[in-house]
Amino acid sequence: MISLVGIYSHLTQFSYRHRKGSAWTIAGLMSVIGISVIAGIGVFGTHEKNASASQGYYVIGGKGSTTTGALAPAVTTTTLTLATPPSSSNAADTTTTLPQSIKSKTQSAASAPSTELPTTTTVPVAQPVGITAGMHLAFTSSFQGSSLNGSKWQTCYPWADSGSGCTNFDNSELEWYLPSQDQVSNGALHLTASKVTTIGTTSAGSPASYQWKSGMVTTNNSFDFTYGYVQVTAHIPTGSGLWPALWLLPQNESWPPEIDIMENLGGNTSRIYCTVHPSLGGESQEIYNSPTNLSSGWHTYAVNWEPHSITWYIDGHQVFTYSANIPQQPMYFLANLAVSGTGQVPNASTPNTASFDISNVSIYQH
């Protein structure tokens, strides 16, 4: 059970990944308040799962009850030739609190990130175990060539893009997103965060200085879908305050709902957050603790969004299933590397340049 101090902390640190300016809905505001109060009295729907090499166990909190269980077996893998970025030193974990959501607004000019190009290697990729009978490949991108495919990918939030960059004002983030931070090379997309002072704007449009610049992509203008299996092969960075994420947002720019396929805070690269923010009721979240450092190589993150359930997979292991208030509206895919300004923040161990790398995004539908 969280103390009153904990409730206050949760209220102040809860971040709204998708908020268009100040246009809150009454339902959304009540949902946020409800989630925080519920968390304070010990019924916040967060699970934590610890995995071992062969199996893992999870504890489901809620009114003092617990449940234990084992991970589903790993599935067969294939090997693909992918890009592997330069390694960076591990950073100490400064907090165990994940800000509950991610992005939102604005723009600026840019210089190209100075970062070492990755080398090529062969890595295992989990087969899409969440695919059910009758599904077909509806969208795929494998990032070949040397530039981002503009017909598939946009580089800012649709509600915030003015043509020169954006950020999420509502999350106290430190980065300004720029197209120049989305680099394609060696068969992968590199969303690069650089500690370079960058001029963007405030939420009111006035000039503002940001400590970092970084990269993000979305399929907002090219592909949205209702229900499907999303699988991404990615390599997360290491460093306190770095915040890579893969997620889905509504095409009509409402919030909630939101489906977070994967989020990580770079001070602990063995911990993955899988979360759903439904339109009704409080959010539900699984915290997956991997037996390995996930920043040491490529891993597969997936979610199967069905009319009556959402199931998350990591490297072919089923780690979480949710079946309450399922989103039932068109959504689009996003990937980004944020730099957190609250909770876990950059410190002396955080590299000045870090990259969230993605080799493939595939979406299957019935």
Which pLDDT score is estimated for 164?
A: 86
The two structure tokens encoding residue 233: 């092969």
The CATH number covering residue 159 comes to 2.60.120.200
pLDDT at site 72 = 38
- Asked, for residue 143, whether it belongs to a domain, the answer is yes
Burial class (CB in 10 A: 0-12, 13-18, 19+), 61: middle
Would you state the pLDDT for residue 47?
54
- The pLDDT of residue 133: 83
Give the total number of structural domains in the chain.
1
Per-residue confidence (pLDDT) for residue 71, from 0 to 100: 39
Q: Return the closest-CA partner of residue 192 out of 213, 211, 171, 164.
A: 213
Query: Is residue 119 assigned to a domain?
Result: yes
> Domain range holding 334?
74-365
User: Residue 49 has what pLDDT?
Assistant: 63
Domain contains 102: yes
**pLDDT at residue number 262:** 98
Burial 260-285 (b: 16+ CB within 10 A, else e): bbbbbbbbbbbbbbbbbbbbebbbbb
Nearest alpha-carbon partner for 361 in 141, 81, 184, 78: 141
**64 domain residue, yes or no:** no
| Number of other residues whose CB lies within 10 A of the CB of residue 22 | 8
This prediction has a pTM of 0.74
Asked whether residue 350 is assigned to any structural domain, the reply reads yes
Q: Is residue 62 part of a domain?
A: no
In sequence order, the 6+-apart residues with CB closer than 8 A to the CB of 224 are 251, 330, 331, 332
Query: 90: Cβ–Cβ under 8 A, 6 or more apart, which residues?
Result: 238, 269, 293, 295, 349
pLDDT tens for the 366 residues of the chain, in order = 223 223 223 333 333 444 333 333 333 333 333 333 333 332 234 556 665 332 222 222 222 222 223 333 343 334 343 333 333 333 333 333 343 443 322 222 233 333 333 444 455 566 788 888 889 999 999 999 999 999 999 999 999 887 789 999 888 899 999 999 999 999 999 999 999 999 999 888 899 999 999 999 999 999 999 999 999 999 999 999 999 999 999 999 999 999 999 999 999 999 999 999 999 999 999 999 999 999 999 999 999 999 999 999 999 999 999 999 999 999 999 999 999 998 899 999 999 999 999 999 999 999
| Spatial CB neighbours of 110, under 8 Å, sequence gap ≥ 6 | 165, 178, 179, 180, 181, 198, 213
Please state, in angstroms and rounded to a whole number, the distance separating the CA atoms of residues 331 and 309.
Answer: 16
Residue 310 and residue 302 in contact, taking contact as beta carbons nearer than 8 Å: no
Q: Are 33 and 362 in contact (CB under 8 A)?
A: no
Domain-located, residue 52? no
| Span 167-201, pLDDT tens digits | 998 888 999 999 999 999 999 999 999 999 999 99
Asked whether residue 40 is assigned to any structural domain, the reply reads no
